Amino acid sequence: MSHPTRNNEPRFPDGPAPDPAGSHFERRIRSFQPRRSRVTTSQGEALERLWGTWGLDIDGRRVLDLGAMFDGRPVVLEIGFGMGEATAQMAADDRDTGILAVDVHTPGQGNLLGLAERAGLDNVRVANGDAIILLREMLAPDSLDGMRVYFPDPWPKKRHHKRRLIQAEFLTLAATRLKPGAVLHCATDWEEYAEQMLEVLDAHPDFENTVPGGGYAPRPAFRPLTRFEGQGLDKGHVVHDLLFARRPHA
């Protein structure tokens, strides 16, 4: 196991960088909080062993060749995957689709890599860093066959609502990277955030609701019920799914 970070040196020399984009891009309001909590031995070993093959740092310095990365599979971008259990399950259930999974949570990155290795999943890649830089600088137009944003940070305090990911500016950027007809799938158990998501998606000219008559969608069978979600449901939380397709180009 590697030692903890000292003088900004990475804890895992062959793993994810602490700040992959550095100061190369303007600072903006971040929709996430970097979390470098305790990494278990198995997670750390997975990072050291597998990052060079299945991981990438979001440095903003190149455009990714998704076709080469995923052997020609259609590719879905997943923003925020927690500990990776649901991501691994979706990858196992649909091995013909590539999943580019982005997060800043080091234990989760290691956990997902380990899950992918144990299940023999070659259709998962783990990206470390800011999803906005990934979308803006490293993905080609019309390169994604789908996008998933499950249970993003709700930033519940009103003064922090500007940090929420699902806003008009983000949707405009996301639309440029999604192929026409590709679906953006959001899910949240935070009622007020769900209402905001629905409002901003309904109002955006690049997206249309896949639900006849509008509104929220039933949870699709391909989205696993996570442990976190199950705990919320046990407490009476209501989970809302939103599935909006990228409109065809004008």
pLDDT digit string (tens) for 123-172?
999 999 999 999 999 999 999 999 999 999 998 898 989 999 999 999 99
Quick: pLDDT tens for 172-225.
999 999 999 999 999 999 999 999 999 999 999 999 999 999 999 999 999 998
Pick the more confident residue, 214 or 31: 214
pLDDT of res. 228: 73
Q: What is the mean pLDDT of the chain?
A: 89
Confidence of residue 7 (pLDDT cuts 50, 70, 90): very low
Q: Tokens for 194?
A: 């769900």
Q: Has 153 been annotated as catalytic?
A: yes
Would you kindly state where each structural domain of the chain is located, as residue ranges? 41-246
Instruction: Inform me whether the pLDDT recorded for 16 exceeds 80.
Output: no
Amino acid 21: pLDDT? 67
Sheet-wide strand order for 207-209:
55-57, 124-128, 98-103, 75-79, 144-150, 178-188, 240-246, 207-209
In the predicted model, is pLDDT for residue 34 greater than 50? yes
CATH number among 3.40.50.150, 1.20.810.10, 3.40.640.10, 3.30.1120.10, domain 41-246: 3.40.50.150
Q: Rounded mean pLDDT of 72-77?
A: 98
Q: Is the pLDDT of residue 8 over 60?
A: no
Rounded distance, CA 216 to CA 197, Å? 10
Q: Which of 94, 142, 153, 202 is catalytic?
A: 153
